[in-house]
Structure 1
Amino acid sequence: MTIEQVTHELQLVERRSPEARRRRWERKYRIVLPAADGLAAAVAAFVIHGAYGRWGVALGLPPTWIIAMCAHRAYDRSALGLGTEEYRRVLRGALALPALAACGYWFFARDSGLLHDMMMAAAPAAAIALLSRYVLRRRLHRRWAQGRDQRTTLLVGPSLGVAELIAVLRRSGVQELRVAGVCLTDPENAQAIKKLGLSVHGGVSDLSGVIRATGSNALVVLPAPEFDATVVRRMSWTAAAQGADFLLVPTLADVAASRLATRTTNGVPLTYVQAPTLSRASRLPKELLDRALATALLLVLAPLMIAIALVVRLDSSGPALFRQRRVGLYGDHFTMLKFRTMRQDAEQRRADLAHLNENSDGLLFKMKRDPRITRVGSALRRYSLDELPQLMNVFSGHMSLVGPRPPLPEEVDAYTPEVKRRLLVKPGLTGLWQVSGRSDLPWDEAVRLDLGYVDNWSLGLDLLILIRTGSAVIRGTGAY
């Protein structure tokens, strides 16, 4: 494979530097963020002043807060707009604020009142800063959804890898990337990529011209046997000369950024992938949080659950609760509880409806207009109210608030060894597949999401899924 010569004349690099071609939203975002942080710190300082009647913190907090954010790279390009890393850096900066305040107390002003106020201001400053970032990101994502402020991207790699990446991007909702074209290592398969609505610009021998012609400000390279170290290095030079960001798609997919780190051994940069945290000790905080939240929710929702049980009994004959054997952690069986949403003869009629299964690509049986569902059951399913009794499964320790869908024993019998990794964590009341489309998702995508959750689990990810669950339930997408 040949790659065109890359010219690194000073004039060319300066004229097409990344700074010159950087997206306008990014420049504005990095200007607005420090201003928003300064305002958050000022508001927090006045809150503390109102509580304790001292003005010193109003002068010291805003610059100290911005210094803490800079020290923890809260304005770094890699953390802007996507993922949870932006929020994590704000929280780390908030935790560092008391240390900065202590240093200021020791070296500058021996004022214990000022030290106390600075420490107390960390929590409200962090809360306001996180809220401002959330508002800014929501606005940015709306603009991306409208096709504005996106990163114009050129993909380079084999047709199969390009098709898989495009499928993932299109399933993921709002996207930062707008694919302007593709350069293939196997141009003979260009027709398959054109069917996806993408422009194919031949091979990879003239990247510089393609980047220039498409106006791309990002070059995304997928793994390919043809791409050895020399070829990848030359492509990075080409991207730099054209002022485009250079991104490599990792061979190992569905790995959270928090599990990745770069180590240098004898001058060779190596990507370190942290092992999944699946030990009992690492899951102890999750267990305690699950039991505590399940207990609180059961107490708060008890009147609603009693009312639903009465309505289910009045709507059709049969018990209010539906009990079914499911498979949990490490393959152990347990009895899962739900409000009954089907008629009593539902299991007997399933064989007659097998030919209408709309999830024929996997192990699940789903129908959008299942005649076995009762009138009340349809409403309960739409808003996931039928799942509320599973809080008792969470309380008893058989389930978690967040995790993969609890499978049936016959489904597990058909699992491949790879899919059985879903059983390394407790099944959940909600999970990545529920907040990503539920029954509308194909089986392979549901498995991919569940395995990604198993490998990348963290309390932060659980919290994010719980937050997203509310909007998914209100929309009712994929609930049937």
Structure 2
Amino acid sequence: MAQAKSDAQLAEEVDVRSSRVLRWRFVMNLALMLFDALVYFATSMIVLVVSHGTNLVTTRLQLNLPIDPWLYSAACAAIYVYCMHVAGVYHRHVFADGYQLNMLLLKGGFIAWVAICALNFIIQCNIFFYMVCLTSLIVWVAEMIVRFIARVILTSKHRKGEYSYPTVIVGSPEGIGQILKFLNQRRQLNYKPIRLCPIRVNSETGLIEADPNTELLSKEVHESWNSPIDVIEYGPQLAGRIAETGAQTVMVTDVLDRFSDNLSTFALQMESVNLEIALITSALDIAEHATQMRNIQGMSIMTISLPQYSPSAQIKKRVFDLVVSTIAIILSSPIMLIVALAIKIEDGGPVFYKQERIGLRGKPFYIHKFRSMRVDADAHLKEVLAAQGQELGARYKLKHDPRITKVGNFIRKTSLDELPQFFDVFMGSMSVVGPRPQRSFEVAEYDPVYATRLLVKPGITGPWQVSGRNDLNEEESRQLDVSYVQDWSVMGDVVYILRTIGTVLHPSGAY
């Protein structure tokens, strides 16, 4: 009974800490909602006044009844806030992510624009179409500016440890190191590691036990986090000892497999004291799929599917690629002409370079680029690799490639060499966003998981390009590519395009 009472007290303490976090998160979201409503209300009223549209009248059923402009603007503001909520603008992990937040603001603004246009149609009021469009545009710009300022302030608070979730990370030393590096790069996720719990599976019993390799753990922490973190040893009463540290979340990186008895037992212990469990899953985890349960003659069958691979989703992506590639070709034509002239003047060689790559479902195709290397570059690849102590493979890296020309060095750093690939996208062999196409000898090294990247068209840009490019290690690059195959969407592609623009303006890892 004494132990049960102690567990109950610990659960209550964790619940109190969680309540504090929920309280400030609720206050912040409420403040944002009120601010968004105020911005839309004020903008709507200003547009009405300037456009001399305050004399609102509904002609529904030929009644010609007057509408209070204050009431109308308030109703539109409420619709706007609701649409922002539907779009996910107020989610806790989105607020500090600039690209994703701005896209959700655009998505929410578009939904609100459609909803308000529908409202005007239903009540048949004398609001001009341009007034709704102007209001939506002004509000969107104002929201981006305010969210940028708020994001800077909140990120600064996160780095000081405020408004974050005290977290204990559980897993192998290598898994802990990977998550620490991930969290160090993405402080907007709000997880603050306060303890580490290294574990392993006992090969004889199959049970979880403490991992005694403290040297490896120290090395991983030093390389990934740059500051020491206390260790809590796995063992009896672990949940109570974690609760006593002030933690709110337990993040499981690996070792504890999903749907296993080990994880079920571990989760039950943590949840008994109200600790939240955050489970890091693989890129191909089934949880990403849409599931449907059916009962056929007493047998339960679960079917799974990825909605983005439906025919309608594929058509949307193809239309998106056609529109984006057409606009890109038209807008970049003057730049492509200048680059072509510069290449021709430098050494008189061909302007374009084509090479066979492996595309959708393993089908070969030719990729086109502006030539950035000497004409005989391919013939000297093995020679250059050998000089730098490397071999041909899926992830060879050349930081100082002597085959690159002066013009080539510039167009590579600025990604201008990729512009001709918009013609490949237009013709259908590539997509604007997707994993980069690789050569046959690289594809030959794929394992079954990495080979899933061939299930989508290769892209001009993608997760690898906007996340560090050649500075990423092999495991990080693989994870990004496979994750894209699992959860791509047209809206996600738009985010990658915007992030690519930022990478071009501030290049990193390009060589």
- Give the C-alpha shift of residue 450 in structure 1: 1.1
Match in the other structure for 1:187: 210
Alignment RMSD (CA, Å): 4.0
Match in the other structure for 1:249: 279
Contact 1:21–1:217 (8 Å) recurs in 2: no
Contact 1:98–1:122 (8 Å) recurs in 2: no
Cα distance in 1, alignment partners of residues 24 and 376 from structure 2 = 57
CA deviations on 1:95-152 (whole Å, 9 max, x unpaired) are: 378668978998xxx6734798997688448735752445533543354456654332
Amino acid aligned to 2:193 = V
Q: Indicate whether 1:353 and 2:388 are aligned.
A: no
CA deviations on 1:44-93 (whole Å, 9 max, x unpaired) are: 41354134612343343334544555677764657654595896598468
Contact 1:184–1:203 (8 Å) recurs in 2: yes
Match in the other structure for 2:111: 95
Cα distance in 2, alignment partners of residues 345 and 150 from structure 1 = 55
Q: Which moved more, 1:213-222 or 1:436-445?
A: 213-222
The partner residue of 2:169 within 148, 155, 162 is 155
The 1:236–1:427 alpha-carbon spacing in structure 2 relative to 1, beyond 3 Å, is same
For 1:127-142, list aligned pairs within 5 A.
127=140, 131=144, 132-133=146-147, 135-142=149-156
Match in the other structure for 2:73: 58
The 1:23–1:63 alpha-carbon spacing in structure 2 relative to 1, beyond 3 Å, is closer
- Give the C-alpha shift of residue 94 in structure 1: 6.4
Identity %: 27
Cα distance in 1, alignment partners of residues 421 and 292 from structure 2 = 42
Contact 1:150–1:177 (8 Å) recurs in 2: yes
Amino acid aligned to 2:338 = A
Amino acid aligned to 2:424 = N
Match in the other structure for 1:430: 461
- Give the C-alpha shift of residue 293 in structure 1: 1.8
The partner residue of 1:389 within 402, 420, 432 is 420
Contact 2:469–2:509 (8 Å) recurs in 1: yes
Cα distance in 1, alignment partners of residues 494 and 238 from structure 2 = 42
CA deviations on 1:404-445 (whole Å, 9 max, x unpaired) are: 101112222333333222221111110100001111122332
Contact 1:358–1:366 (8 Å) recurs in 2: no
Cα distance in 2, alignment partners of residues 171 and 60 from structure 1 = 41
Match in the other structure for 1:234: 269
CA deviations on 1:305-357 (whole Å, 9 max, x unpaired) are: 11111111122241111121122222222221111111122122222122245
TM-score, length of structure 1 as denominator length: 0.81
Match in the other structure for 1:316: 347
The partner residue of 2:318 within 287, 298, 319 is 287
Cα distance in 1, alignment partners of residues 88 and 74 from structure 2 = 23
Contact 2:358–2:438 (8 Å) recurs in 1: yes
Q: Secondary structure at the match of 2:168?
A: strand
For 1:326-475, list aligned pairs within 5 A.
326-356=357-387, 362-475=393-506
CA deviations on 1:373-418 (whole Å, 9 max, x unpaired) are: 1111111111111111111111221111111101112222333333
Q: Which moved more, 1:40-49 or 1:422-431?
A: 40-49
Cα distance in 2, alignment partners of residues 409 and 349 from structure 1 = 18
Amino acid aligned to 1:40 = V
Residue-pair matches, total? 465
Cα distance in 2, alignment partners of residues 26 and 361 from structure 1 = 51
Cα distance in 1, alignment partners of residues 91 and 421 from structure 2 = 42
Cα distance in 2, alignment partners of residues 138 and 308 from structure 1 = 38
Cα distance in 2, alignment partners of residues 431 and 71 from structure 1 = 27
Cα distance in 2, alignment partners of residues 122 and 366 from structure 1 = 50
Amino acid aligned to 1:156 = V
Residue ranges of structure 2 left out of the alignment (5+ in a row):
55-68, 200-208, 222-228, 296-300
Amino acid aligned to 2:210 = P
Residue ranges of structure 1 left out of the alignment (5+ in a row):
none
The 1:361–1:188 alpha-carbon spacing in structure 2 relative to 1, beyond 3 Å, is farther
TM-score, length of structure 2 as denominator length: 0.77
Cα distance in 2, alignment partners of residues 69 and 321 from structure 1 = 46
Amino acid aligned to 2:25 = E
Amino acid aligned to 2:111 = L
Amino acid aligned to 1:236 = E
- Give the C-alpha shift of residue 462 in structure 1: 0.1
The 1:103–1:343 alpha-carbon spacing in structure 2 relative to 1, beyond 3 Å, is closer
Amino acid aligned to 2:329 = L
The 1:172–1:15 alpha-carbon spacing in structure 2 relative to 1, beyond 3 Å, is closer
